[in-house]
Amino acid sequence: MGKKSSKPHPALLIVGAPGAGKGTQGKVLGTLPRFFHCACGDVFRSLDTRTALGQKFVEYSSKGELVPDELTIGLWKVQIDNWIETYHYKPDIDILVLDGIPRNVEQAKIIENYLEVYTVIHLTCPDREELSRRMRKRALKENRFDDASDEVISNRIETYVEETRPLIEYYKDKVVDIDATRQPVEVLGKIIGEIVKLDAYKERAKIVV
């Protein structure tokens, strides 16, 4: 069994509106050694919708709203511990790439002692039409009911502006803005450019396993 660590977990956060490309970038980073991608939305989507928690997820996400903080953080911690126990995520050598969590300042405060946040990648896309276009496309490709209707899409963007964007101010000393309207490969290049500057990355890069 992997060891649960009491030390804060080194983490890189990806923050951005729905459709900005957090998942696309997080998934690629998660394929690299020393990085572990955790998308909170994927954790929710993997729930059996017949369970109480699965039902809560459907209830909130189908309206474009956030699932209540305590439920979210509880589920997320259990999932992280599972990944540690099964050696998928190795907190002593991996940097957590968190996509979609924390999703508001309250969540950031709840998990503050649990994480050591090295940098916050802010994927910027001021064009709501472009975000909506990307969500509609994703709804078709990935069968995501929460991205399918114009009303839910617009609620998701509003929820981002009101609840998630304040994180940029909260983490202001650690935030790096990256233009998410560029090609995904260029966005990835910029993110990697930021990662290799981090001391936490440099230390891990020296570890031979």
Chain residues that interact with ligand AMP, rule: CB under 6 A? 18, 40-41, 44, 60-61, 65-67, 72, 100-101, 103, 107, 146, 156
> Cβ atoms within 10 A of the Cβ of 51, count?
10
Q: What's the token pair of residue 122?
A: 């802010």
The answer to whether 156 touches 60, Cβ cutoff 8 Å, is no
Please name which of 15, 21, 12, 18 lies closest in space to residue 180, comparing C-alpha atoms.
Answer: 21
- 76 vs 201, beta carbon nearer ligand AMP: 76
- The minimum distance between CB 44 and ligand AMP, in angstroms, equals 5
- The minimum distance between CB 20 and ligand AMP, in angstroms, equals 10
Distances (CA, A) of 84 to 10, 21, 35, 79, 108: 14, 26, 13, 9, 21
- 96 vs 201, beta carbon nearer ligand AMP: 96
Q: What's the token pair of residue 181?
A: 């309207």
- 163 vs 194, beta carbon nearer ligand AMP: 163
Terminal-to-terminal C-alpha distance of the chain? 18
- The minimum distance between CB 43 and ligand AMP, in angstroms, equals 8
- The minimum distance between CB 83 and ligand AMP, in angstroms, equals 17
Which single residue brings its beta carbon nearest to ligand AMP?
Answer: 41
- The minimum distance between CB 175 and ligand AMP, in angstroms, equals 18
- 25 vs 107, beta carbon nearer ligand AMP: 107
The answer to whether 147 touches 91, Cβ cutoff 8 Å, is no
- 41 vs 91, beta carbon nearer ligand AMP: 41
The answer to whether 42 touches 122, Cβ cutoff 8 Å, is no
